[in-house]
Structure 1
Amino acid sequence: MGLLIADDARVRTLTLDRPDALNAFNEALYDATTEALLDAAADPTVAVVVLTGNGRAFSAGTDLLEMHRMATDPAFQRGKHGFLGLVDALAAFPKPLVCAVNGVGLGIGATVLGFADLAFMSTTARLKCPFTSLGVAPEAASSYLLPRLMGRQNAAWMLLSAEWIGAQEALESGLVWKVCEPDDLLPTARRYAETLASRPISSLVAVKETMTAPLRAEIAAARERENACFAELMGGPANLEALSAFAEGREPDFTGLPAGW
């Protein structure tokens, strides 16, 4: 399933473990991570969840080869939860969520930080929201959450440009809380997670509830807008050109698309 789960000191660490695919989310990994979050939410022995990646990537986002099959094969079998189920679980997760960005984060590997209560990032990691380079729309309420975290112009650049954001830029913009040397990343994230986990779970849940409750309606509305745009654009000329270019190992060329694309 590509997910490692470990418990220690009331902290559950979820490690994305598809290193050969840069921890990209296929349907199986979306389902496994969603189930792990639902289980952690319900488990009275878990106070905090840490999410990180194995290898040189945090997550390369949605598996584009599988996404290409999804867009072109009517018989493609989707998972139980999929991308939307994972975002549902993130939005509803009642306990502190700590992200430790160990390497490259693209797509959901970047937008997940909108749901993190604390985010740590390796000095060698980079983040990218590749939506315009894929001919699609934002996802995971990032059009609402990233401007809140980073400010409008920093978020606009990240969402519009599909360019890489380095660790220092992520720190200065407020997208992450602390930047660590690679070997210090997970120990540092765990140290802070264990501090939180030493507090009463009931209090942790109450604090998070009072912080996130005012945001839920806006998150839901942003997701509806994004999903409508995504549904319109996925499978369109720009998206098919981007996915075909990825499958063929070339750069996409959007200059020859019909007007308006």
Structure 2
Amino acid sequence: MDILTSKSDGILTIEFNRAERKNAITGAMYQAMADALIDGEQDAAVRAVLIIGKPEIFTAGNDLDDFLKNAPAGGKPDQSRPVYQFMRALSGTTKPVVAAVAGAAIGIGTTMLMHCDLVYAADNAKFSMPFVQLGLCPEFASSVLFPGIAGYPRAAEKLLLGEAFAAQEAVQMGMVSKVLPLDELLPYAKRQAAKLVALPAASIRATKGLMKRARAGEIEAALQAEVELFSAMLQAPEAKEAFTAFFEKRKPDFSKFA
């Protein structure tokens, strides 16, 4: 199974389990995570969610082969696709979500963290949002959330250039709460999730809801705008050049595009 899920002691754990492909996410994996989150939301015994990867890799983001084969036809967004179901389930859950990140978190591997409540990183963690490098635009409301977290200048640097940044910089920008040695990351994240389980569930829900309430409309608008633009840009010449270059293992040439 490329996604492992389990429930124990009030914690729903979702684990990326495709290390041989750098935990690259397929449509089936998005569907499995969406289903797990929806089930966890409906299960009163689940009081916290923990999302983890492997010690060497969190996730390389989308599996490009699978992603391109299942791209929306005609550049029009299809919000029934598993990736959008996952986005809605994660952004909409009332349960507190803890993420433990080791190794690389690329693309949606980084943007999904902005919808988690507690994010902890190992000292080997690296984050990147290379959407522009692929001829695309930000997704998962990162165009709104990341400037709010990091401030516009730092967000612009990371989103426009798409370059990777390390765990300590992620802490400085406010995206990650704490950096730990690799062998301490998962035990610490599990302890934090257990603390959430022990607290009053109604108070946790109310507090999370109040914190997210002020920006709910803005986030929804960003999600919608990004989905439409992202889908259209997938069909554009710049994205086709970027993906062709990726598969041909060469540097893309965007000089011919205005």
TM-score bracket for this pair, using the shorter chain length = over 0.9
Alignment-mate amino acid for residue 212 of structure 1: K
* One-letter amino acid of the structure 2 residue matched with residue 69 of structure 1: K
* Structure 1 residue 163, shift from structure 2 partner: 0.2
Q: Which runs of 5+ in 1 are unaligned?
A: none
Give the corresponding residue for 2:96: 96
Whether the 8 Å contact between 2:17 and 2:23 is mirrored in structure 1 is: yes
- Give the partner amino acid of 1:94: T
Checking the alignment, whether the CA contact within 8 Å between 1:105 and 1:128 is kept in structure 2 is yes
Instruction: Single out whichever of 226-235 and 88-97 deviates more from structure 2.
Output: 226-235
| Matching of residue 218 in structure 1 with residue 218 in structure 2 | yes
Q: CA–CA distance in 2 between the matches of 1:247 and 1:120?
A: 33
Give TM-score, length-normalised by structure 1. Answer: 0.92
- Contact kept in structure 2, 1:171 and 1:178, CA below 8 Å: yes
Q: Where does 1:49-198 land on structure 2 (aligned, <5 Å)?
A: 49-71=49-71, 81-198=81-198
Which residue of structure 1 aligns with residue 227 of structure 2? 227
1:2 aligned partner: 2
C-alpha displacement of 1:72: 9.8
Is the Cα–Cα contact under 8 Å of residues 24 and 59 in structure 1 kept in the other structure?
Answer: yes
Counterpart of 2:249 in structure 1 is 249
> Which deviations, in whole Å up to 9, do the C-alpha atoms of 1:205-239 show, x marking residues without a partner?
11111111222100011112212221221121110
Residue of structure 1 equivalent to 2:209:
209
User: What one-letter code is carried by the residue in structure 2 that aligns with 1:90?
Assistant: L
**2:72 and 2:56 mapped to 1: Cα distance?**
30
How far 1:166 moved relative to its partner? Answer: 0.4
Which region of structure 1 is more displaced relative to structure 2, 116-125 or 241-250?
A: 241-250
User: 2-side partners of 1:179 and 1:237: how far apart?
Assistant: 40
Distance in 1 of aligned mates of 2:183 and 2:8:
19
TM-score by length of 2: 0.93
Identity of aligned residues (%): 36
Cα deviation code 1:49-107 (max 9, x no counterpart): 01011352111111112223235999xxx996421111111111101001111110011
Compared with structure 1, are the counterparts of its residues 136 and 242 closer, same or farther at alpha carbon in structure 2 (3 Å cutoff)? same
> Would you say how many aligned residue pairs link Structure 1 and Structure 2?
255
Q: Note the aligned Cα RMSD (angstroms).
A: 1.8
2:254 and 2:49 map into 1 onto residues whose CA distance is 41
The answer on whether the counterparts of 1:22 and 1:55 sit within 8 Å (CA) in structure 2 is no
Q: How much has 1:124 moved relative to structure 2?
A: 0.4
Q: Name the CA distance, whole Å, in 1 between partners of 2:72 and 2:174.
A: 38
Letter in 2 for 1:143: S
Work out the CA distance in 1 between the residues paired with 2:81 and 2:10. Answer: 26
Match of 1:26 in 2: 26
Name stretches of at least 5 consecutive residues in structure 2 with no aligned partner.
none
Counterpart of 2:215 in 1: which secondary structure? helix
- Identify which range, 164-173 or 78-87, moves more after superposition: 78-87
Residue 136 of structure 1 and its aligned partner are, at CA, apart by: 0.3
Alpha-carbon displacement from aligned partner over 1:99-148 (angstroms, at most 9, x marks no partner): 11111001110001110111001110100001011000100000011111
Q: CA deviation at 1:157?
A: 1.0
